[in-house]
Amino acid sequence: MKLAVAFGANCFFAFMLFSAAASALAEEPAGSLTAAAEKYPENQPRMETKKFGLVIHGGAGTIERTKMTPEKEREYRAGLERALTAGYEILKRAGSSIDATEAAVRVLEDDPHFNAGKGSVFTSAGTNEMDAAIMDGKTLAAGAVASLKHVKNPISLARLVMEKSGHVMIDGEGAEAFAKENGMELVDPKYFFTQERWDALQKIKSAEKSRTSGAGKAFLITDQDRHGTVGAVALDENGNLAAATSTGGTTNKRPGRVGDSPIIGAGTYANNATCAVSATGDGEYFIRASVGHDMSALMEYWGLSLKEAAQTVLDKVAKLGGTGGLIAIDHQGNVTLPFNTAGMYRGYVDPNGKFVLEIYK
Ligand code: GLY
């Protein structure tokens, strides 16, 4: 039995038409804009028109306009724009959705404003532990890493796991040894220190102490203090979908705690038959709701539209008590970016090639 497929207008659009180019794509990770420009020269032959699309997020949470300074907002927007540019430059040169999502996420990992890579939050032990995953919708190949302490760009290690390890998920020291074997950039844990994340940890610890001692001192702990994540989903002009997600997890998490981002079918999922999804929010709830795979299954088995499926799974998360959001794109280039928090850092490329960046509801 199929449910009626309603074509919702909100956040949906047919994506840009662009000429297809030869798709001889090399294997090494994309990474930077310079790498993208070298790998995908503008003058590749273009034969037919096809569509592609890209959506990114930089985390959902209590993001209030009144608490944001114009300067800070500019910095967040600039970070999102750089990430969209990195992915878009690859897609418009007929590059793959895997390369585009990896490149976009690497930019966000290098930006201290976002909770991933450089800007990762702290565990209760005052350390940083990062998780990431990437999935190829064409082959259903996936790679995931968890509890990393020294890897500058966890998303690239996730990709390496997908392409070279013969496994889907590797965590901790084993993952870092695999990174080293493959010449990946490792950094001193000090690299991940940011004052803002450290202060958020102290605030949460003080709130906890106050609660357990019965002192009753009030601390305003926002979603922003607690979590955040970055992600990208893309459709390339060969019709292939990909999803990539990277995170520092949740502030004050126990060392060893793993969230939804590296769990294939929870925070990250891609299937050419349906959609590509990257989630952000309270990982425990997104795991319990099997967000990514549930969404794909609703589309594949029940015929729900992208938007209907996304809202259904987000409602399931909310019913369990979880907050957050997700970004998703389907094989036709429709996109949706729902969230149940005050805001979500997010962006996509509109049908005219214009970058749309949004933060608040
Ligand atoms: N959504 C990220 C995490 O919970 O780790």
Specify whether the CB–CB gap between 53 and 337 falls below 8 A: no
Lowest mean pLDDT segment, chosen from 85-94, 108-117, 217-226:
217-226
Give the position, in ligand 1's atom list, of the atom nearest the Cα of 282: 4
Q: Is the pLDDT of residue 345 over 50?
A: yes
Give the position, in ligand 1's atom list, of the atom nearest the Cα of 281: 1
Closest alpha carbon to 239 in 136, 346, 163, 351: 136
Instruction: Tell me, in angstroms, the distance from the centre of ligand 1 to residue 120's CA.
Output: 11
The pick from 250, 268, 323 for probing ligand 1's pocket by mutation, whose C-beta has the most ligand atoms within 8 angstroms, reads: 250
What's residue 17's pLDDT?
35
pTM of the predicted protein model: 0.87
Of the candidates 101, 194, 229, 247, the residue annotated as catalytic is 229
What's residue 44's pLDDT?
47
What band does 149 get if pLDDT is binned at 50, 70 and 90? very high
- Other Cβ atoms less than 10 A from the Cβ of 85: the count is 18
Between CA 94 and CA 187 the distance in angstroms is 33
- Category of 176 on φ-ψ map: left (φ > 0), alpha (ψ -120 to 50) or beta: alpha
Beta-strand ranges (E) seen in 214-285 are 230-235, 241-247, 268-270, 275-281
Closest alpha carbon to 231 in 164, 154, 167, 308: 154
Q: Does ligand 1 have an atom closer than 6 angstroms to the CB of 283? A: yes
Model confidence over 57-75: pLDDT tens digits? 999 887 777 778 899 999 9
What band does 16 get if pLDDT is binned at 50, 70 and 90? very low
Q: Is the pLDDT of residue 195 over 60?
A: yes
Number of H helices, E strands in the chain: 10, 13
DSSP, res 17:
E
Contacts of residue 25, Cβ cutoff 8 Å, sequence gap at least 6: 39, 95, 96, 99
Closest alpha carbon to 121 in 14, 267, 251, 225: 251
What's residue 303's pLDDT?
98
Between CA 84 and CA 25 the distance in angstroms is 20
Specify whether the CB–CB gap between 152 and 185 falls below 8 A: yes
Q: Is 215 exposed, middle or buried (0-12, 13-18, 19+ CB in 10 A)?
A: exposed
What's residue 133's pLDDT?
99
Question: Would you call 341 a catalytic residue per the annotation?
Answer: no
